[in-house]
Chains A and B, each alone.
Chain A
Amino acid sequence: MTTTALLIAPVGLPLLAAASHAVFGWRPKTTAWSGAAAAAGLLACAVALAVAAVDRPRTGLGGLLRADALSAYMLVVIGAVALPALLASPGYLAAERAAGHTSAADARRYGILTQTFVAAMALAVLAANLGVLWVAVEATTICTAFLVGHRRTRHATEAAWKYVVICSAGIALAFLGIVLLNFAARHAHVPSSGALDWAELARHATALDADVTRVAVALLVLGFGTKAGLAPLHAWLPDAHSQAPAPVSALMSGVLLSVAFYAVLRVKVIADAALGVPFTRTLLAAVALVSLAAAAALLLKQRDYKRMLAYSSIEHMGLIALGAAVGTPLAASAVLLHILGHGLAKSVAFLASGHIQQATGSTRVDGARGLIARVPLTAGLFGASLAALLGFPPFGLFASELGMFRAGFTAGMGWAVAAALLLMLVVVAAVAAHTGRMLLGAHRPGPGAAALAGDVRLARSAALALTAALVACAALGVTAWPLHTLLDTAAAIIGAHP
């Protein structure tokens, strides 16, 4: 009974918050904070589930929902990233309303949609059925479409259109893969009620027809990879992430990509058992290197700092895919650690960039010079989060990248790791140069450089949340102690043993 409640609460709490927005609207003192409260509740449930699911998976709601260590871990990631993002939301919206970009109705819609978005992500990681997982992932696209187009400008409309069309079409491929997997499962005598249950599929994987499964897995990786920002269908990501309001960008970049990749991980478990490790390894390594190359090439000439962050997300998803391609238990725990570390650092970076955008009125690197002198707190947070994203110690991403590369060399994928390292060097150089130009130097008002807007202080709640997230990210780099057992169990689920 308690497990069922624990499984339903992560989906239910955000939906309750959404209902509060629907009924009472967006009230700065009260309902504006309901989302953050729901996120805190979600995180608490995630921790409780993690404790409960470490020894064995828990199911609920007639077998529709299931939490094993991996789902619980992903839920922790969702909670940990959603909390700072939603804590920063009220301050962000207040500034948007003060600047006249957002009406009361827009704010209410923003509240409803962000909460259903979080609920859909929670459902995705808790679903026991690949079909329900697919429905939840597609639901995130629908929820976020209007959030991307929130400002209703030409740019926002364009970004929203591309986002919906490319993601829906890409994810349709994944559904085709699910249909074919269902077909293969029926022929492997999996009972029709459990034919899409990932645990059942993994159990019967050796009986699946290899040729059909191969087609299905390729489609699933390509389809969910679209949503995870992986090449070749990554074109929507920079547009959508740069046009969405900052807290939504933080959620989309920080967790939505990882939730989509979680689906790839579930598929990988089935595929490794059915087809052997080499198939998914080759597929994922190819996708990872192409994504890294695309990100590196486009980061060099980037002039827009929100787009820079978006391309950095593609780069990190490429790294995560590379780690998954390596697939040993060490690589798997490094991948999971990277997902959490990237989520925290990227959400801080996007939230800080949202504040920079409000302060300078521009998203161009040229328009935001000498930030250290102008908005020291925000600039400090932005710089620190980018240092984390570039993989500097002491942040968690340093540890996870190190782990991935070590595992890659041990697993005999030295060529892929070497290529990735080379591409990362380009990324580091490009991002560091752009960030340096934004943060350092004197502010020279001139063409393209915007003046500071009136009230430029970062709201106190947001500042606290961002600092806490960065501290957590740094702590992960020192020790993953509280998560140790959970990480090991989750990594054992996805780690292949060749």
Chain B
Amino acid sequence: MSGSMSVAGTVEAAAQVVLVAAGSPLLVGVMRQVKARLEGRAGAGVLQPWRDLRKLLRKEAITPDGTGPVFRAAPLVLTATALVAAGIVPIATTASPLDGAADLFAVTALLALGTVALALAALDTATAFGGMGASREMTVLALVEPTILMSVFALSVPAGSTNLGAIVNSTLHEPQRVASPVSLLAAVALAVVVIAEAGRIPVDNPATHLELTMIHEAMVLEYAGPDLALVEWASAMRLTVLLGLVANLFAPWGIASADTAAAALAALPLALAVFAVKVAVLGGALAAGEVFMAKLRMFRVPELLAGSFVMALLAVAASFFLA
């Protein structure tokens, strides 16, 4: 039983990784397309990010003078962490063979590792923009990490475990828990930090290269060719994983959590499709929201993130008070 389960789990985890790897540029494409349509433009099509990546991959790899191994290793680290995260977060299955590692702390640390690698690389270039972007990114990260931990922790109190798979399973068994204040507060908090972590409006604007406002773009300014392709691809995957995490923590329906290996494998295609739809809907909503919103001034960003932190903390408090 356990043997066949783990084989099934491996297959499911692999399917998850493939889906995220292949689908995340498409998600970015969908979001750009939604934005373009809402702004009255034709848009470049959903496949455009893949075309961009192909173009970048064909170019020659160049690195700026004076940069060291940190600069060259960062895209690889970023991509690797994103891929591992895609494998362990409960996207299509809660029975991944890496389930033991699918702890909320592990996922947060993995994503933070990627961010830190990129920030170090930006510092390594020794340009003004790189340093500025790294410093801003670290500010945001310092405010985001506690909130992610807090809000997932709040969700883990009713489930009795910090294992993401266990949290999703317990929500599946007690669907009315989604409407509790704990869950609502945590959802709002998590939504805010996902936006911040993914570098979207109102915290950061992925479509600008205006020096006053950019955060993520300032860090990757010196990358070109295949390195840039890796960074872009990894960023898209991170966005997908984060949106998927939010979707499955608060609306886990459709995920494959069958007891037998055969049933689990049979449910896999449906689970993948449902996941794709959920993430596409969330991404579309995010893009639509961005059309109507302006980027916050940099000094208002801590206020927003402090607010989300308070909500996460209140969610934790409420999960103890009201339980």
The answer to whether A and B touch directly, with their CB atoms under 8 angstroms apart, is no
Residues of A that sit less than 8 Å from B by CB: none
Q: Contact residues of B with A, CB < 8 Å?
A: none
